Structure 1
């Protein structure tokens, strides 16, 4: 590759990413690639610099297009939506089978026993209704998130990063390792430069949510330390262990 050819590609790419940056989008990842290509150019590594320029141009050309990871997340949310619908249907069928037809009480049953049976039926009914309500809420959120990710809606990106950051905070103070890993992976991916570019997230907005995520993690660590120091009998213990701890104080 000649110097003239590299310089032409470099100028075209620089003009393109500056134009996109002027609209407020986060192109920090592209700028790093362009700077790295120029560094290689100055060292005489024209071919390596060209490869980086081509990759940067490919990333810019994909701006506004859905990345593979976003597609996978969207499909997972759609699957969650279908599972929630199945849960709602199962709850409705269970309710109809259990309470759709009155069951006559045996002649030998006492009033006290009948009261116990009625209370049990009411508790089961309440559990089914709560399960149906939870499944309905889950279905709505799963559908909104799945559709928003598929359509690259910036509002859904904001909501997912916000809830994921709160999830990191909650996972830290509850010592829930699995939830912590899941939320870190999702939030970390959504904060990647090419993903932010796909959702047309501005550099300022991306920076705000990055700081918010870090703040949630740090606050969780501080609260965890506070609980460990000032409430040692409650930190990470079962009720039986808490009772034994307070007894031995």
Structure 2
């Protein structure tokens, strides 16, 4: 299935938004945030500090009367320069974000938007990495695809088993804090993956410009499910 067809298929599953946070949070309380290199405000913030970045994000949410900040699909970000984990052959390194981030408090519950089974999970503990991560497998109308949930708590993967089934709306985990989530302010990295390839408990959530063609094709905008109109 071509990427455009795949995106249209996902978008057609339901006319209403799917949610990975508490479904009772109204859409009006989701505030978009720009963490790209083009946001000049970030030049005055030490992006390598999870505390200072967290203060900026919390202030942005409060200023706009929200509860959750969201955004980030295909943003080119400077924050990845702080970690060798994102180096690549290109001069820029890996700096193009392939998922949507949902910024909220540590221990915020995370739910599966669709019926699923656990494909894999892992604690990706590199500096700047996902930390505890869950990948779910979905089959809808014989179409197989995957969703990734990064920056979770250690408790989220403690007693998990590959193949464990979840029903739509079941809690799958909770957000971790900076001590376990790769040293970021608490947030969920949510990503759709068409072909998981041979990855287990991990999948690139950031790519380089030279590899972006493949990854944009394989990882469509999560807004086809979340319907934030990002």
TM-score band, normalised by shorter chain: under 0.3
* Bigger CA radius of gyration: 1
- Give the number of the structure whose residues are more often helix, by fraction: 1
**TM-score (norm: length of structure 2):** 0.20
